[in-house]
A and B are shown apart, each in its own frame.
Chain A
């Protein structure tokens, strides 16, 4: 079993839809939770970053962490064609401070105009 599981999709939605992207994980020691966005033919870039549990909002994006269920989510409101990309969840341990990230497989999202 992978430490981090993510539905690879692809996910296709109409413009303006609310998108929910999810990851589950098995290691309860993970403390940092991140979402990276990767456009086609580009490297990933950090989109959202959460420490421990709770929600974090940034514009149309909301990251949610439920440590009791070992489940994280990224919500995109009013989705736009420019949101079409692959979204990768990533996690790391507090104690290591090495920057060693464990990534999910990535979910490919297409937002149709």
Chain B
């Protein structure tokens, strides 16, 4: 089974709808991240969480919210979806390791392709 799973894998929705994307991990990592990927723009960080009680905004958090329901679960919500939120969304995790930079090794889920019409 995959270490980082995302549901749904594909979603088509309409402008104004509320959407939730879910992420689960079995790696036992404390840190979780949500990114979006757009052609020509690479990956951009939306939110990140150090643990259940510590959630931080990333580079492009406007229009998004998150919830860390448990160490293993991190969900991303679009309160009122708009067409320019059409993108590929990735969840990632990282954990403590032997070196100071261990958190830089992030493990990504397979992605959710979201289309907002």
Contact = CB atoms under 8 A, between A and B. Distances in A.
Contact of A49 (B101, B107, B111): B101
Contact of B108 (A31, A34, A45): A45
A28 interface: no
B34 interface: no
B48 A6 contact: no
Contacts, number: 69
Interface string A78-103: 00000000001010101001111101
B84 interface: no
A34 B106 CA distance: 11
22 contacts: A32-B101, A32-B104, A34-B104, A34-B105, A41-B110, A43-B4, A43-B92, A43-B108, A43-B111, A44-B90, A45-B107, A88-B42, A90-B43, A90-B104, A97-B100, A97-B101, A99-B103, A100-B48, A100-B58, A103-B43, A104-B42, A105-B40
Given A90-B43, A94-B101, A98-B56, 19 more contacts: A6-B42, A8-B40, A32-B101, A34-B105, A43-B4, A43-B109, A44-B108, A45-B108, A46-B106, A49-B101, A97-B103, A98-B48, A98-B50, A99-B31, A99-B48, A99-B103, A100-B45, A101-B43, A103-B42
B93 to A, nearest CB: 9
Contacts of B111: 41-43
Interface centre among A8, A88, A90, A103 (most CB of B within 10 A): A103
B75 interface: no
B106 A99 contact: yes
A34 B31 CA distance: 18
A42 B103 contact: no
Interface centre among A8, A31, A101 (most CB of B within 10 A): A101
A99 B42 contact: no
Nearest to B92: A43
Contacts of B107: 45
